[in-house]
Amino acid sequence: MDLFGREGGEATCGTKEKNSSDKSNNHIIGEEGSHSSSPEAQGAALNPQKRREIFERLRAADPHPKTELVYRTPYELLVSVVLSAQATDKSVNLATAKLFPVAATPAAMLELGEEGLTGYIKTIGLFRMKARNVIQLSRLLVENFNGDIPRTREQLESLPGVGRKTANVVLNVAFGEPTMAVDTHIFRVANRTGIAPGKDPLEVEEKLLKFVPREFLLHAHHWLILHGRYTCVARRPKCPACLIEDLCEFKKKEKN
């Protein structure tokens, strides 16, 4: 177990994404319903000194945070993130360990086909919808982008199954852009701690980009996800073991 409380295995991925017909970024599904923006769910906004100290501690605990999805190329990362909606990283990694040796490029995925892909991902939730999206996005990548992964949010969001959050993950992890992919974990941590309180994911994203010191922007997304996934959990946050407990503005801290 590390300083984030990670033991490996069954943590939820926190990259829950909408289907291709839902381009809204104002609702997060999967944390016992929608996110809460009630006063009880939020801490007071932090001052810049506390905010900096939080990220200094998170960096000291994990200087080089990484996604827990296993991938080798931007395409494999994109597919993995699309598959990770309402699924664990472990379940996605188990499926892609068999899938990617067979279909590691958009062209190979098209050759495999929707039914063939379904056989590899049927252990993952919503696998039929995800198979359809992966095949459709692979076709568009071949037809419109020479099989390459586009490097702008707008182009990424033109792909089936890819919303703002998934686009931000790809831009950050694959291309080193200082983006904020606000999932349910980041939304919760940002509001509870007071790092960047907001009523919806887009507001939290914009505040994080505005207030997080530039030197922390590249990895801030991963630090906050990991903190929410393993320490600042939804039902009973592990406040006594939290390395930023004394800086957090959450009023309903767990005592033990």
Q: State the amino acid at position 188 in one-letter form.
A: R
Complete DSSP assignment for 42-85: -PPPPPHHHHHHHHHHHHHH-SS---SS--SSHHHHHHHHHHTT
The residues near 223 (Cβ < 8 Å, ≥ 6 apart) are 55, 58, 59, 62, 65, 216
Catalytic-labelled residue, pool 16, 18, 130, 165: 165
Q: Is 98 a catalytic residue?
A: no
How does DSSP classify residue 148? P
State the distance between the two ends of the chain, measured CA to CA, in whole angstroms.
18
Q: Is 183 a catalytic residue?
A: yes
CA distances to 25, 35, 148 from 78, rounded to whole Å, are: 18, 25, 11
Cβ–Cβ under 8 Å, residues 130 and 124: yes
With CA atoms as reference, report the closest residue to 141 among 103, 92, 178: 103
Catalytic-labelled residue, pool 18, 89, 130, 183: 183
Cβ–Cβ under 8 Å, residues 190 and 184: no
Q: State the amino acid at position 169 in one-letter form.
A: V
Burial class of 154 by CB neighbour count within 10 A (0 to 12, 13 to 18, 19+): exposed
Residues tagged active-site: 165, 183
